[in-house]
Amino acid sequence: MRARSGLHINSTGAREAENIRVPKRIALFTGAYNHIADGVSLTLNRLVEHLEKNGSEVLVLAPTCDDPPIEHKGTLAAVPSIAAPGRPEYRLATGFPSHLKRRVKKFRPTLFHIATPDILGFKALRLARSWGIPVVASFHTHFSSYLKYYKLGSIENILWKYGRWFYKNCEQIYVPSESIVDVLRQQGIENGVRLWPRGVDMNVFNPQKRSIAWRRHFGISDHEVVVSFVSRLVWEKGLDIYADVIGNLSREGIPHRSIIIGDGPARKTLEKRLPGTIFAGYRRGEDLSAAYASSDVFLFPSDTETFGNVTLEAMASGVPTVCADAFGSRALVSSGKTGYLAPPGNAAVFTDYVRKLVVNNRLRAELGHGAFEKAQGYTWDSILTRISGYYDEMLGYDPDPAPEEMKTADSGFAQPHASSISLNA
């Protein structure tokens, strides 16, 4: 195994070269880790758990809150933050104070991983550059796709200008799908891009979790076809389209039941709009597994996903999916084989696909089996091991060869910093 010179901090604060392999010590900066149970938080917690189990050290810097919904993995250093305007369940980092910089310095990181290009991410990037620490980034949220929901489309060009500068200064960029690779390439962000799809635990999500008792608990008869939705209840998740489809099926007299798993600020409005729908609230663990597997059709019209964790979980549960033909879902759903992809925002086409699955038991079974088979290619262990291999590249170690499906069209990246690194800043 080829190794770049090992590094350590001597009494003067300078790093000197040694011919030893340096343990990976990752300083992870993120806008979401334990204060909100979303896909970003859950993915990063899995990553930290995996890294620490395999001998790496991780220090996480992120906002937090009183009584967080996630029991976080690893060591978390809370950064100053405020509630997001209009979305108080989210918190925004407001700075990177000196005492936390000293804590990071004492941690002696070999690598900075920035998951959110916010104020904290910006200051972490500047600090890494001043110390000469290599920086990687992961792209979790396609922020510009959210702007239309908040009437902020006029600032899209400004955000992308900042994004081009930010990611140009990161030596590797981890993205969840080829669709997002294409989005970044269109914006002139190409160097160092690596695929990092999300995974699924097939022991947790699988067809065996289907439960007649779970269905009956909500008053669902054994023969009824359930159209489900699982996500936070915010409008950018395609709730308008879900409501339109369920309304269309009802007006057409198509027998079905609808159930929404999740909670959020849009719930009250949605309850008024869908009086016949079951609102099961936030579910976790075996209860969430049963919710997926006890459904018959999974309808997820969101066009803002970078990957679509909930879509993959539904597929692993053997449920055919009807999703927006956009970024994350496009990478997962094989239209006509595991489910269907519909044009974003087109309620009529979504309704056609859902209707087709609701009335045809055989088609549901065939596409559900196809979804289950495809989901088996996304195990968490192999996907998280991929990130550890990327880190090894940054430290000068030869990673294991990448499976073909994990490679991008452009695997080039900027050369690592020299091994003589000062931490005196």
Query: pLDDT for 41-82, tens place per residue?
Result: 989 999 999 999 999 999 999 999 999 999 999 999 999 999
Inside any domain, residue 350: yes
**What is the model's pLDDT at position 404?**
44
Residue 19, judged by CB atoms within 10 A of its CB (0-12, 13-18, 19+), counts as: exposed
**Angle (CA) 29 180 305, round 5°:** 75
Q: Which two tokens stand for residue 336?
A: 């006509």
Examine the domain organization and report whether 115 and 163 are in the same domain: yes
Q: pLDDT tens-digit profile of 24-42? A: 999 999 999 999 888 889 8
DSSP 8-state class, residue 184:
H
As for how many domains the chain has, the answer is 2
Residue ending a domain, among 375, 393, 414, is 375
For residues 47 and 185, membership in a common domain is answered with yes
Phi, psi (degrees; rounded to nearest 5) at 116:
-140, 125
**Beta-strand relationship, 193-195 and 135-138:** unpaired
The single-letter code of the amino acid at 105 is K
Shared domain check, 293 and 362:
yes
Give the phi and the psi of residue 83 in degrees, each rounded to 5: -70, 140
Considering the domain boundaries, does residue 173 fall inside one?
A: yes
Same domain assignment for residues 231 and 356: yes
Residues 18 and 137 in one domain: yes
Instruction: Classify residue 425: in a domain, yes or no.
Output: no
In a domain, residue 98? The reply is yes
Q: For each of the chain's 425 residues, which pLDDT tens digit applies?
A: 344 433 444 433 444 444 456 679 999 999 999 998 888 898 999 999 999 999 999 999 999 999 999 999 999 999 999 998 877 888 999 999 999 999 999 999 999 999 999 999 999 999 999 999 999 999 876 554 444 545 555 667 888 899 899 999 999 999 988 878 888 898 889 889 999 988 899 999 999 999 999 999 999 999 999 999 999 899 989 999 999 999 999 999 999 999 999 999 999 999 999 999 999 999 989 999 999 999 999 999 998 776 788 999 999 999 999 999 987 788 899 999 999 999 999 999 999 999 999 999 999 999 999 999 999 988 888 889 999 999 998 888 655 444 444 444 333 333 333 333 333 33
Instruction: Select from 262, 270, 278, 247 the least CA-distant residue to 310.
Output: 262
Assess whether 190 and 240 both reside in one domain.
no
pLDDT of 312: 94
89 and 165 both lie in a single domain: yes
Give residues with Cβ within 8 angstroms of 344, minimum separation 6.
301, 303, 324, 325, 326
- What integer pLDDT is reported at residue 254 of this predicted model? 97
**Residue 414: inside a domain:** no
Instruction: Say if residue 189 is in the same domain as residue 247.
Output: no
Question: How far apart, in whole angstroms, are the C-alpha atoms of residue 265 and residue 182?
Answer: 32
In this structure, is residue 422 part of a structural domain?
no
Considering the domain architecture, whether residues 194 and 211 belong to the same structural domain is answered as no
Q: Does 300 reside within a domain?
A: yes
Residues 6 or more apart in contact with residue 112 via CB below 8 angstroms: 26, 27, 29, 124, 125, 127, 128, 133, 134, 135, 136
Residues 6+ apart with CB under 8 A from 384: 46, 47, 50, 51, 199
The domain that holds 293 is classified in CATH as 3.40.50.2000
Q: Are residues 291 and 360 in the same domain?
A: yes
CA distance 33 to 364: 36
* In a shared domain, residues 320 and 384: no
Tokens of 12: 């003067």
153 and 65 housed in the same domain: yes
Q: CB burial class (10 A; 0-12, 13-18, 19+) of residue 82?
A: exposed
Query: What is the span of the domain harbouring residue 327?
Result: 207-375
**Domain finish residue from 375, 398, 420:** 375
In a domain, 423, yes or no: no
Dihedral of the CA atoms 382, 387, 388, 394 (nearest 10)?
Answer: 150
